[in-house]
């Protein structure tokens, strides 16, 4: 049974504007059963503990038992009462967690100390097995101070150099997720490194084509804005002088499509530089796979789990 | 070692005024040139419609400062003349005036009459970190679309040279990619690994290149350690070498607009410094670009 990607939103869905909204709603909608893939370091295990204490999740721990026990002890978390599944092989852990998600045994999967590539591989396999035909892509939300909505950056994890067709699918995935936040018509920016010199970039040609596709209604009820750079978004064009006082933050679109994986990964993880917070997930056809970076802090992982709980709840209501 | 934009300006003042050629200067740039000339950084050489320029500087501080006006009413010829002044040794640096970016670049890159030094020109964005006393360089953020490995090598060498001008003797370089492991399907990881190996063999002098490295590992030593990556580069990068222009340009813009970080830039690979008008460089930072250009003239002559 797939999540039905409906174009309409339920009227009772509260519009989510911030990570605090996720945290508040996750308390109401939790606990959700969560398969955690290799929570084998302290930061991650502490995030699992905190999320459980907050009532977001009921964890199923998959990984090296000794390592999980050791870090659980260090963060004073008694994992004796939770389902624990032994696994050492990274790919086998990811495969098991994703099969649990696709069989409905858990509502969410979250990456722990495991390279992301294994998780993506498992998701793609499960989607293929399920015959969903879905293009797998990652959405990374940014919470930006001073902005009244979250910014969804995509694809930040899977597609190395997506072609136009794949980019359209990536937009559809992000569009689906963003509508779960309660926005009926999100605005989308298709980014490019297009400048005043150097000819026309492939990413810019894709922007032009995607604008046409969006105008025809094939991407759903969304708008692709007439801007491919942050300069154009915030200053209204590339000929205007930089003035932070006249910068209009509200011009920031809801969804940002990046040109390629390198650009996506670099941009979304600039939270290590900037005063923004990042939360990443793959909205699979059976529920959210939470994709924190192995380098993320405990607090940030907890925020990402709260996001996944809320989206799992809203996706569940999309079931046919 | 220079660690802030202010220090760049102060250091440039010491080096003495350089002759700056600009054709068809825009009215909005007169204040900037006045400020730079007043600070002893430059002597402006304005090439263009003589009467129009006389009218433009009337009543501005530049009128009473040392400057030169050369009459040439045709914009294309004025640009050629400004470049010619530099080629003849009568000016030290070029600033973009009223010409668009592509016209300027075409003229500068002209093999016979331009200022191009080698095969490749690149652009470096300099950022002043708000929380640390440190300057970082990100390249290429404006000129090269999809550099080959050989071009990346040159872009990196340009950045190492600019780092040297700033007094960073052994720069730590992050050769960025989407992930920190080599993935044969992701060309940027392979190229970063090769550059890293070249650095290991001292092919970049004292510079230490780590790659492939993802941005979180580059920015945070703790983040890198959690991924099992230990290097003196992590958390203390001087030069960020980006995979291609989409990443580089958008990264620089993101720091400017989301981080509100001031940036200044420099073109490398020319015989003399060339200052461009980039949309995300503030008026305040343009004087830093002039100062940086002056320093580039001083250190190693016209070794831009």
Element (H, E) at A63: strand A57-63
Average pLDDT over residues B299-303: 50
Cα-atom radius of gyration of chain B, to the nearest Å? 20
Q: Does residue B161 sit within a domain? A: yes
Q: Which residue has the tokens 């694809």?
A: A155
Report the candidate in A150, A91, A152, A101 with the shortest Cα–Cα distance to residue A122. Answer: A91
Same domain, B152 and B185: yes
Tell me the backbone φ, ψ of residue B63, rounded to 5 degrees.
Answer: -55, -40
Distance separating the N- and C-terminal Cα atoms of chain B? 18
Whether residue A47 contacts residue A301, with contact meaning beta carbons closer than 8 Å, is answered with: yes
Angle at alpha carbon of residue B52, lines to B286 and B55, rounded to 5°: 85
d(CA B37, CA B130): 28
Domain match, B23 and B105 both: yes
**Tokens 């949309």 identify what position?**
B279
Handedness of CA B129, B130, B131, B133 (dihedral sign): positive
Angle at alpha carbon of residue B220, lines to B219 and B225, rounded to 5°: 135
Task: Specify the higher pLDDT residue, A236 or B150.
Answer: B150
A153 and A256 share one domain: yes
The CA-to-CA distance between both ends of chain A, in Å, stands at 7
B 164-223: CB under 8 A from A: 176-179, 181, 183, 185-186, 188, 214-217, 219-220, 222-223
Chain A residues touching residue B177 (CB < 8 angstroms): 262
**Min Cα separation B189/chain A (Å):** 10
Question: Has residue B243 got a pLDDT over 60?
Answer: yes
Radius of gyration of chain A (CA): 19
The mean per-residue pLDDT over the stretch B7-29 comes to 94
Instruction: Count Cβ atoms below 10 Å from residue B126 Cβ, excluding itself.
Output: 25
User: What is the rounded average pLDDT of the residues B175-194?
Assistant: 96
Judge whether A37 lies within some domain: yes
Q: Is residue A290 part of a domain?
A: no
Using one digit for the tens of pLDDT, what is the confidence trace for A157-171? 999 999 999 999 999
Does B128 share its domain with B242?
yes
In this structure, are A216 and A244 located in the same domain?
Answer: yes
CA distance linking residue B143 with residue B249, whole number of Å: 9
Size of interface A-B (CB pairs under 8 A): 155
> Tell me, what's the pLDDT at A11?
44
CB B97 within 8 A of CB B69: no
Residue B264 resides in a domain: no
Is the Cβ pair A231, B217 closer than 8 Å?
no
**CA B24 to chain centroid:** 22
Contact present, A135 and A173 (Cβ < 8 Å): yes
Taking the Cβ of residue B239 and every Cβ of chain A, the question of whether any pair is shorter than 8 Å is answered with: no
User: Closest residue of A to B280, CA-based?
Assistant: A242
pLDDT score for A133: 92
Given a cut of 70, whether residue B300 has pLDDT beyond it is no
- pLDDT higher than threshold 70 for residue B189: yes
Which H or E element spans position A279? strand A277-284
Please provide the average confidence, as pLDDT, over all residues in chain B: 94
Tell me whether residues A295 and B100 touch, CB distance under 8 A. Answer: no
Q: Quick check: A230 and B183 CB within 8 A?
A: no
Among A225, A260, A13, residue whose Cα is nearest residue A153: A260
On whether residue A199 sits in a domain, the answer given is: yes
**Are B131 and B25 in a shared domain?**
no
Q: Provide the number of structural domains found in chain B.
A: 2
Q: Are residues A5 and A112 in the same domain?
A: yes
Same domain, A128 and A142: no
Are residues B185 and B293 both part of a single domain? Answer: no
B207 is a domain residue: yes
For residue A33, give every residue at least 6 positions away whose Cβ sits within 8 Å of its Cβ, in sequence order, or none: A57, A58, A60, A105, A106, A107, A108
In a domain, A292, yes or no: no
- Assigned domain for A230 exists: yes
Q: Is residue B303 part of a domain?
A: no
* Same-domain check for residues B46 and B95: yes
Q: Would you say B293 and B86 are in contact if contact means Cβ atoms under 8 Å apart?
A: no
Q: For residue B201, what is the domain's CATH number?
A: 3.40.718.10
| Domain region containing A244 | 136-284
Are residues A148 and A220 part of one domain? yes
Chain A residues whose beta carbon lies within 8 Å of the beta carbon of residue B286: none
Contact A230 B143 (CB under 8 A): no
Of A264, A272, A274, the CB nearest to B216: A272
Residues B52, B111: one domain? Answer: yes
Same domain, residue pair A120 and A176: no
SS3 (DSSP) at A191: coil
Q: Tell me the mean pLDDT in the region B167-195.
A: 97
Tally of structural domains, chain A: 2
Q: For residue A159, what is the domain's CATH number?
A: 3.40.718.10
Say how far apart CA A39 and CA A136 lie, in whole Å.
24
Q: Is the domain of B99 the same as that of B188?
A: no
8 Å CB contact of A229 and B250: yes
A249 touches chain B (CB under 8 A): no
Decide if B148 is inside a domain: yes
Are residues B92 and B188 located together in one domain of the fold? no
Closest chain B CA to residue A142:
B258
If asked whether residues A118 and A11 sit together in one domain, one would say yes
Is B106 buried (19+), middle (13-18) or exposed (0-12) by CB count in 10 A? Answer: middle
Q: Are residues A179 and A230 in the same domain?
A: yes
Do both B280 and B251 map to the same domain? Answer: no
Give the separation between CA A290 and CA B14, rounded to whole angstroms: 55
pLDDT at A269: 94
CATH code, domain carrying B79? 3.40.50.10950
Tally of CB atoms within 10 A around B287: 22
For the segment B20-63, what is each residue's pLDDT rounded down to a tens digit? 999 999 998 999 999 999 999 999 999 999 999 999 999 999 99
The pLDDT of residue A99: 97
| Within a domain: B285 | yes
Supply the pLDDT for residue A5: 52
HEC assignment per residue over chain B: CCCCHHHHHHHHHHHCCEEEEEECCCHHHHHHHHHHHHCCCEEEEEEECHHHHHHHHCCCHHHHCCCEEEECCCHHHHHHHHHHHHHCCCCCEEECCCCCHHHHHHHHHCCCCCCECCCCCEEEEEEECCCCCCEEEEECCCCCCCCCHHHHHHHHHHHHHHHHHCCCCCCEEEEECCCCCCCCCCHHHHHHHHHHHHHHCCCCCCCEEEEEECHHHHHCHHHHHHCCCCCCCCCCCCEEECCCHHHHHHHHHHHHHCCCCCEEEEEECECCCEECCCCCCCHHHHHHHHHHHHHHHHCCCCCC
Same domain? For B129 and B195 the reply is yes
Expressed as residue numbers, the domain containing B253 is: 122-257
Number of CB atoms found within 10 A of residue A205's CB:
13
Question: B249: distance to nearest CA of chain A, Å?
Answer: 5
CB distance A266–B247 less than 8 Å?
yes
One domain, residues A264 and A152: yes
| Any A CB within 8 A of B109 CB | no
Q: At A128, which CATH number? A: 3.40.50.10950
Domain shared by B148 and B171, yes or no: yes
Residue B247 sits at the chain A interface (C-beta within 8 Å): yes
B259–A275 C-beta distance less than 8 A: yes
Q: Quick check: B143 contacting A, CB < 8 Å?
A: yes
Rounded to two decimals, the pTM is 0.94
- A143, A272: one domain: yes
Residue numbers in chain A where pLDDT is lower than 50: 1, 4, 6-11, 320
For residue A109, being part of any structural domain is answered with yes
Q: Are residues A94 and A204 in the same domain?
A: no
Say if residue A315 is in the same domain as residue A215: no
In a domain, A256, yes or no: yes
B23, B19, B37: which is closest to B91 by C-alpha?
A: B19
The CA distances from residue B104 to A106, B31, B110, B274, B291, in Å, are 60, 22, 10, 10, 20
Classify residue A172: in a domain, yes or no: yes
Average of pLDDT values for B232-239?
Answer: 96
Residue B255 contacts A, CB cutoff 8 Å: yes
């Amino acid at each position: 049974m797939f999540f039905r990607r409906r174009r309409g939103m339920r009227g009772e869905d509260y519009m989510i504007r911030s990570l605090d909204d996720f945290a508040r709603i996750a308390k109401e909608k939790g606990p959700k059963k969560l398969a955690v893939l290799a929570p084998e370091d302290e930061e991650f295990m502490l995030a699992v503990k905190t999320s459980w204490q907050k009532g977001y999740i009921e964890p199923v721990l998959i990984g090296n038992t000794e390592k999980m026990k050791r870090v659980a002890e260090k963060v004073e978390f008694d994992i004796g009462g939770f389902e624990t599944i032994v696994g050492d092989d990274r790919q086998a852990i990811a495969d098991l967690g994703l099969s649990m998600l696709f069989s409905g045994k858990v509502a969410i999967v979250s990456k722990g100390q495991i390279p992301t590539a294994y998780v993506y591989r498992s998701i793609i396999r499960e989607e293929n097995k399920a015959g969903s035909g879905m293009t797998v892509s990652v959405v990374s939300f940014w919470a930006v101070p001073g902005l009244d909505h979250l910014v969804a950056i995509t694809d930040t994890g899977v597609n190395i150099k997506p072609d136009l067709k794949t980019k359209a699918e990536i937009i559809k995935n992000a569009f689906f997720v963003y509508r779960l936040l309660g926005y009926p018509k999100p605005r989308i920016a298709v980014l490019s490194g297009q400048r005043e010199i150097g000819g026309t970039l492939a990413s810019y040609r894709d922007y032009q084509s995607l604008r046409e596709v969006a105008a025809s209604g094939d991407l759903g009820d969304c708008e692709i804005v007439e801007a491919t750079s942050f300069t154009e978004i915030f200053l209204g064009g590339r000929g205007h002088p930089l003035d932070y006082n006249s910068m209009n933050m509200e011009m920031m679109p809801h969804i940002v499509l990046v040109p390629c994986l390198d650009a996506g990964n670099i941009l979304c993880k600039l939270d290590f530089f900037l005063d923004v917070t990042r939360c990443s997930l793959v909205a699979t056809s059976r529920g959210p796979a939470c994709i924190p970076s192995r380098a993320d802090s405990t607090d940030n992982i907890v925020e990402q789990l709260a996001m996944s709980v809320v989206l799992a709840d809203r996706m569940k209501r999309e079931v046919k | 070692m220079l660690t802030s934009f202010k220090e760049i300006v102060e250091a440039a003042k010491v080096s003495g005024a350089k002759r700056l050629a600009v054709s068809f200067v825009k009215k909005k740039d007169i204040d900037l040139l006045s400020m730079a000339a007043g600070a002893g950084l430059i002597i402006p050489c304005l090439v263009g419609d003589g009467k129009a320029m006389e009218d433009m500087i009337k009543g501005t501080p530049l009128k009473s400062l040392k400057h030169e006006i050369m009459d040439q009413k045709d914009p294309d010829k004025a640009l050629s003349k400004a470049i010619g002044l530099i080629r003849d040794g009568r000016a030290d640096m070029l600033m973009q005036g009223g010409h668009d970016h592509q016209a300027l670049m075409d003229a500068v890159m002209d093999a016979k009459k331009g200022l191009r030094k080698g095969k490749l020109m690149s652009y470096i964005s300099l950022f002043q970190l708000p929380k640390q006393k440190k300057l970082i360089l990100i390249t290429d953020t404006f000129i090269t679309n999809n550099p080959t490995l050989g071009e990346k090598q040159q872009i990196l060498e340009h950045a190492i040279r600019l780092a040297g001008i700033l007094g960073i003797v052994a720069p730590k370089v992050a050769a960025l990619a989407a992930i920190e492991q080599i993935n044969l399907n992701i060309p940027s990881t392979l190229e970063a690994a090769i550059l890293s190996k070249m650095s290991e063999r001292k092919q970049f002098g004292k510079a230490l290149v780590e790659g492939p490295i993802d941005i979180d590992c580059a920015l945070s030593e703790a983040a890198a350690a959690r991924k099992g990556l230990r290097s003196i580069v992590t958390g203390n990068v001087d030069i960020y070498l980006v995979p291609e222009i989409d990443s580089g340009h958008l990264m620089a813009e993101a720091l400017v607009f989301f981080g509100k970080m001031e940036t200044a830039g420099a073109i490398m690979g020319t015989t003399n410094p060339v200052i461009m008008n980039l949309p995300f460089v503030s008026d305040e930072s343009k004087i830093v670009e002039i100062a940086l250009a002056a320093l580039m003239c001083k250190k190693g002559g016209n070794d831009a």
